[in-house]
Structure 1
Amino acid sequence: MRSLQAKVTVLATMVTALLIGLAGLLMLVSQRAEITTQTADSSRVHYMCSSTQCVPLQKNATAATPGVLVRYASTEVRPALSLWPFSDSGETRSQQLGEGPHRNDEDARSIASQAQQQLNRSTLSLLGVLASITALVSVTVLAATSRVLRPVETMRAEVAEINEHNLTRRVPVPSSDNEITRLAATLNETLDRVHRSVEDTRRFVADASHELRSPLAALRAELEIALSHPHLADWPTVVKSALEDAERLQELTTDLLLLARLDADALDKQDTVDLTAVVQREVSRRAMVALEADDQVLVPGRRAQLSRLLGNLLDNAERHAGTAVIVRLRGGSSATLEVIDDGPGIPEADRERVFDRFTRLDEARTRAAGGAGLGLAIARRIATRHHGTLEATDAEGFRGVRFVATIPTGIPQPRKATALEQRMGDEVWQFLNGSIVPTHGHIPEPRPVPVPELDWDLIFGEHQPVHT
């Protein structure tokens, strides 16, 4: 039995039958006691007895006195009635009680038989009424569940027709305000989220394919042209250009892999991260960046991802800044991280769109001016995974843009700001005892050693790279 309607109907019928059966049984017991009492009362005969004989007393009739000394006595027939409605009334047993003369067995059986027949008729009538009530309850429950579950069946049929090709279809929402209406509204909201997710995935795949196709096409064209004229090709230039395309492909695939992991991996394992140390280390690697930060701002999360968030914001700021980039970090119930640049700024209509994947404004669509349009999308995704936010607003005091990231801490933070420090290239570093120590006292990670220029003469002989 898989139908919920049938299960509810059967359950309601069984419960109703049980309750009505118990009530009917009590009624039958009461009816049997009443019939037994009535039979005994109707069969009772009163006598006036002397020492030698008994004379029956009749209502409104004169009776001869059987003697000088008389006494009164009575006799009644009390049947032993059965509740089984199909029992044989002729086999009903009875008992004669009283001090008067007993009736003959034939009369007693006749009285008991009539009482049993009366009880049988009452029992059958009551069973019929109870069966009718149970059937009426079953039909009512069946009709009610059918009416209640009809919208659910309609929604089920509608959802069954939805697939990846028609995600715009929605289930009908009943006009009444009840659980079914809320279920339909929730289903539609879920379908909306699924639709947006599928559309985002399709757009993501299309944009990723487009972004991957461009460097691949350029790389293939350069190699095909060089191979078609191997003696005329400037091989160092060809290899250098191919290496640049390969690096761009590597960066793009790395960002795509990171986005996929951020979407799929749950942030269930968190550490206590000193966000101040992360910011100081990231800022120390860059030029023309001013830092103002509270001491020891602690947040729960993953250190590498928070470093990537700030790194992407600084990459974007350095790409568009004119002369200055400012980083501010404040603690409290939520850590507030600001990255401000004095660049051309972002129009208010585009401040939310810049966080979409593969979104680049018109002035940043060239390979030299902008990347693949994934940096800000990754930064916001990291902030969201840390239960925070990332927004773009107007810069304070000058033309530009300010990115504000908030990360919940849950820990009261001290508010002791350090002085504003300006770092211009390597001038802020001091070489003490052979170690690189910044003026603010924080020892950063060693910088990677720059890769030396290739000796093209050893590789290609007389061919030299052409610098454009």
Structure 2
Amino acid sequence: MRSLQVKVTVLATVATAVLVGLAGFLMLGSQRQQITTQAENSSRVHYVCAGSKCVVLDERKLLTAPDVVVQYATTEVRPELTLSPFGEFGYEVVGAGPRPPEEAARTITAQAQAELNTAALGLLGVFVLVTTLVSVTVLTAVGRVLRPVEAMRAEVAEINEHNLTRRVPVPSSDNEIARLGATLNETLDRVHHAVEDTRRFVADASHELRSPLAALRAELEIALSHPDMADWPTVVKMALEDAERLQELTTDLLLLTRLDADALDRQDTVDLSAVVRREVSRRAMVTLDAEDHVLVPGRHAQLSRLLGNLLDNAERHAGTEVVVRLRGGSSATLEVIDDGPGIPEGDRERVFDRFTRLDEARTRAAGGAGLGLAIARRIAGRHQGTLEATDAEGFRGIRFVATIPTGIPQPRKAAVVERHRVGDEVWQFLNGSIVPTHHHLPEPRPVPEPELDWDLIFGEHRPAHGPVLPLRSR
């Protein structure tokens, strides 16, 4: 019995049957008491006895004073009735008067039992009628209530990855089922958008990975087809550039996957001022205007990556100057402003989509893979913050504004201490190799800093710690 309609109907029927049966039993017991009392009253006979001779006392006649001493006696039939219409009944004669004939006593008892049986059958009919009426009513009402739910179930059962545009029917009434249908449609909308985003992401990622792979294969095939004429140092250099681009793109894709899948359940107290100063110190054309000791909850490596991506984008498009501002308060406000060509207002939200490159930055050499701003916004969102592109006050370029709440939770450890090393959290490591993201070389370091969030970037595939090979400047 899996149907909710049947279960509710059976439960309501049983409950009704128990209540009506109990009420009927109590009423039948009261009715038996009344019928028994009436039978006793109707069978009661009063006698006047003088010695062993008794005569019926007639209350309608006047009695003369007797010459002898008399006694008064009473005789009555007390029926012993049964509540079952088919049960055996009996009687008892009580009193000091003469016993009535057995046939008369049995007739009185039979009449009382017949009257009680009539009442019992009437109550049984009422019991069956009420129980049936409740069962039919509940069955119909529950079926009517659950009909929209069954329609939703049937519609959801038909939805698969090929027809995510279908939606469940929502009743016009404003009740829990209508709200359930609306919530299901909202959930299906989110799933549809997520699947479409994943499909576009896979298609774009495949396209972005295919281009350097095709170039690398073409270079190697040409060189192998004419090995004597090939400039092997140039071939190796070009192959290394393609491999570096593949490595950068793979690292960004891994990071995006981790940002989408992992929850920010471990937070530290990060000195955002120190992070900003360290990032700006590695840039040549950046002007800094920052307050001191702006503390935010989060992860040091991710916040450094957020600012690094914004600075990369600003340096790529700036004319002569990039300005970084940091202000504290209830929320930390980080601004990165450049004096480049800016972004049209209609494209300011689209630039945060993955693999988005605007027309004036369409080439890979100038525009990158189109993942930097998407990663930056995702990191800001994971820190309960926002990242927006707005007009640059006093500049003709664009201003990116990241807002991160400064409410500090119970810290897992002390605030991050600034380390005076060049290159911290600027380089992404993959399988022991160095991939530059800012187009200029830092000081090489033998091992990565412990603050780098390796689990976020690589998952279970941690880089092998080994000697770091310096790259040749291009």
Are the structure 2 counterparts of residues 101 and 409 from structure 1 closer, same or farther at C-alpha, using a change threshold of 3 Å?
Answer: farther
Structure 2 residue aligned with 1:176: 173
Could you tell which deviates more after superposition, 360-369 or 44-53?
Answer: 44-53
Equivalent in the alignment of 2:31:
31
Q: Describe how 1:146-295 pairs up with structure 2 within 5 A.
A: 146-295=143-292
Quote the Cα distance in structure 2 between the aligned partners of 1:380 and 1:120: 84
What does the per-residue CA deviation read over 1:320-341, in whole Å, with 9 as the maximum and x for residues that have no partner? 1112111111222221111111
Please identify, of 62-71 and 177-186, the stretch whose mean Cα deviation from structure 2 is larger: 62-71
1: distance between equivalents of 2:10 and 2:241?
74
Distance 1:204 1:115 in 2: 89
Give yes or no for contact 1:333–1:411 (8 Å, CA) kept in 2. Answer: no
Q: Which residue of structure 1 lines up, in the alignment, with residue 53 of structure 2?
A: 53
Residue 117 of structure 2, aligned match among 111, 120, 136 = 120
Alpha-carbon distance between aligned partners in 2 of 1:114 and 1:63, rounded to the nearest angstrom = 34
The residue aligned with 2:448 is none
Residues 75 and 99, structure 2, Cα contact 8 Å, conserved in 1 = yes
Give 1:389's aligned residue. Answer: 386
Secondary structure of the structure 2 residue equivalent to 1:326? strand
Kept in 2, the 8 Å contact 1:326–1:340? The answer is yes
User: Once superposed, what is the RMSD of the aligned Cα atoms?
Assistant: 2.1
Q: Say whether the 8 Å CA contact 1:388–1:408 is kept in structure 2.
A: yes
Q: Normalized against structure 2, the TM-score is what?
A: 0.85
The number of residues matched between the two structures is 424
Question: Alignment partner of 1:391: what SS?
Answer: strand
Match of 2:2 in 1: 2
Q: SS at the partner of 2:229? A: coil
SS of the aligned residue for 2:35 comes to helix
Rounded Cα–Cα distance in structure 2 between residues aligned with 1:387 and 1:108: 93
Which structure 2 segments of 5+ residues have no match? 410-416, 424-441, 445-469
For 2:418 and 2:166, the matched residues in 1 are separated by 58
Q: Give me the whole-angstrom Cα distance separating, in 1, the residues matched to 2:166 and 2:186.
A: 12
SS class of match (2:365)? coil
TM superposition shift of 1:159: 0.5
Q: How many Å separate the matches in 2 of 1:453 and 1:209? A: 29
Residue 374 of structure 1: aligned partner = 371
Query: Can you list the C-alpha shifts for 1:230-253, whole angstroms capped at 9, x where unaligned?
Result: 122222111111111110000000
Aligned to 1:144: 141
Could you tell me how far 1:106 is from its partner in structure 2? 3.3
Would you say the 8 A contact 2:21–2:127 is kept in 1? yes
Partner of 1:437: none
Residue 78 of structure 1: CA displacement? 1.7
**CA-CA distance at 1:121 after TM superposition:** 2.1
Unaligned stretches of 5+ residues in structure 1: 413-440, 455-466
Question: Do residues 445 (structure 1) and 442 (structure 2) align?
Answer: no
Task: Tell me the secondary structure at the aligned position of residue 368 of structure 1.
Answer: helix
Alpha-carbon shift at residue 113 of structure 1 (Å): 2.3
By how many angstroms is 1:59 displaced? 6.1
Normalization by structure 1: what TM-score? 0.86
Residues 95-135 of structure 1 show CA distances to partners (whole Å, capped at 9, x for unaligned) of 33344333233322322222122212211221121011101
> What letter is aligned with 2:361?
A
SS of residue matched to 1:97: strand
2:21 match: 21
| 2:358 is aligned with 1:361 | yes
* 1: CA distance, partners of 2:161 / 2:142: 32
Counterpart CA distance in 2 for 1:30 and 1:41 is 17
* 2:461 corresponding residue in structure 1: none
Quote the offset at 1:43 in angstroms.
1.2
Partner of 1:130: 127
Match of 1:341 in 2: 338
Aligned partner of 1:444: which letter? Answer: H
Shift of the 98–178 alpha-carbon distance from structure 1 to 2, 3 Å rule, reads same
2:429 alignment counterpart? none
Deviation at 1:411, TM superposition (A): 4.6
Kindly indicate whether residue 322 of structure 2 is the aligned counterpart of residue 325 of structure 1. yes
